[in-house]
Every structure is written in C-alpha cells, then in structure tokens.
Amino acid sequence: MDFTMNETKQTLKTLEQQCRLLRQQQVTFITALERTREHAHDRIKPVRTLTQVQNYLDNHCHNSTDRRVLSLFLEVCSNLAEFCIKLEAMQSETRSAGGAIEEAITLLSPTNELSNLRAKYPHDVVNHLSCDEARNFYGGVVSLVPIVLDCIREAVGRIEKLQRHGLGSRDGLGAGPGSRQYSDGQAGGGLTHNIGAQTIISQADSSTQMSKIKKHNCGALKPAWRPAGRLYTT
C-alpha cells in the first residue's frame, strides 16, 4: 500500500510528539548516560555512536529509569530511520545525491560518528548542557534527533511540493542553498556546514546504505522493551 501524503503528515506529527517527549527528559537522559558510562568505565570518551548507547543499555544499565530513557532514545532513532525509508519509497524517482533523506539515514546509522554534531538555533538542546558536557561528551548525541527531524521536515515539504505541482524527477529532494545548517565543531564554535552538501551518495551507494540501515536497526538499535509488530524486528 502506498504511503499517502496524509499518512506521511500524521506520522510526522506522531514522531514530533515523541521527539518532544525525549527533549523534555534530556536531564534524565544525560544522567542515565553518566551512570551507565561509569559502570562501563568509559567516562573519558564522548558518546560517539548509537551502537555505544545500545551497549550501555544492554550491558551497563542497572535501574529502570535509566533503562526507560535510553530505550526511548533508541526507539525514537529507530522510528525516525523507519520513516526515512518510507519517504524514500514514496519518492524513489526524486532522490538526489546529498538530499535530506540520504543525510538523515547517514546520521542515523548505528556506527555514524556523532561527537562533532551540534544542533544550532532555534534548537536549544546543547544550551541545556554544562560547558564541559557540551564540549566533550554529549553535545553530539543530544543534537542527533533535532538535526534529523529538520532533515525529515525539509524532505516532507519537498515531497509535498512535488506532488502538488507535479514536478519532474530531477527536482528531487536535494538540499538547496537555503537548507538547514548545523555546526561541525565544538559547542559555541567550529565551522558551519550545509547539511545537504555533507554526503554525495551514488545510486549504488544509496542502495547499499539503505540495506545497512535496515540490517543494523534489526538488531543493534532494537529497544529492549519495544512492542512487537514494527519494521525492525529480528
């Protein structure tokens, strides 16, 4: 069954609500990371990947509050990746190298390096961290969801415009001059990059990346308590 524009908007609204819930629990999330990193004897390193968070949950999480919030974070990331795959299926003829969907999928890869990500205004997630936390440990992991959500909103807007005006496939989902930006340096500094220009993915590479995302999310990012019946099941 085709994923219609109305269904797309409704799914996006649901995801936005889930992301808002996660943002409201940022202090609890950071506390859980602090505690599990201490149990893992891993406190001198930043949180770099989603696989690392999954490892903390699976092997170093010893109370229900930490388990709940880490599972929520991983579930949000899994749901965002699933939605990106559906968006690509909707507009497979309009994909372009370096587009918003491809960028979101790359960012959500379980082994993607997150430590240099920094969400910029109007997002304030980094501002809620201490200077040390923002600079050295958690600035990237808390920036991931807001940046990906921006990518998805842009892609949905482009898809809707293409459908409304019946534009050709060459107009695509590629990021234009006005696309959203984020800082690739430390909090409060570093270079600013256009997200759409970060990754040039060939058609073959895009297919390979999609397969990797599906494979990884089947296992590495599967929350321990996530209900059955979702896309990412073993």
Cis check for the bond before 146: say yes or no (omega within 30 of 0): no
Enclosing domain of residue 119 = 5-219
234-to-70, 202, 218 alpha-carbon distances in Å = 20, 29, 6
Per residue of the chain (234 residues), what is the pLDDT tens digit? 456 888 899 999 999 999 999 999 999 999 999 999 999 999 898 999 999 999 999 999 999 999 999 999 999 999 999 999 988 887 665 554 348 999 999 999 999 999 999 999 899 999 999 999 998 999 999 999 999 999 999 988 888 887 777 654 444 444 443 344 454 443 333 333 344 333 333 334 444 444 544 454 444 444 444 444 444 433
- 3-state SS assignment for residue 102: helix
Q: Which amino acid belongs to residue 36?
A: T
Residue 100 placed within a domain: yes
Where is 214: in which H helix or E strand? helix 203-219
Q: Tell how strand 181-183 and strand 192-194 pair up.
A: antiparallel
| Maximal CA-CA distance, the chain | 55
Beta bridge partners of 99: 174
CA distance 44 to 146: 25
pLDDT of residue 31: 96
Residue 151 placed within a domain: yes
Number of structural domains in the chain: 1
Instruction: Identify the burial level of 89 via C-beta atoms within 10 angstroms of its C-beta, where 0-12 means exposed, 13-18 middle and 19 or more buried.
Output: exposed
pLDDT of residue 28: 97
Residue 229 placed within a domain: no
- 3-state SS assignment for residue 75: helix
Residue 224 placed within a domain: no
Q: Which amino acid belongs to residue 76?
A: V
pLDDT of residue 175: 43
72-to-19, 75, 76, 129 alpha-carbon distances in Å = 9, 5, 6, 19
Buried b (16+ CB within 10 A) or exposed e, 96-108: bbbbbbbbbbbbb
Residue 225 placed within a domain: no
Look at the pTM and tell me if it is higher than 0.75.
no
pLDDT of residue 172: 43
Using alpha carbons, select from 71, 38, 40, 39 the residue that is nearest to residue 54.
71
**In 10 A of CB 135, how many CB atoms?**
18
Using alpha carbons, select from 38, 35, 23, 37 the residue that is nearest to residue 66.
35
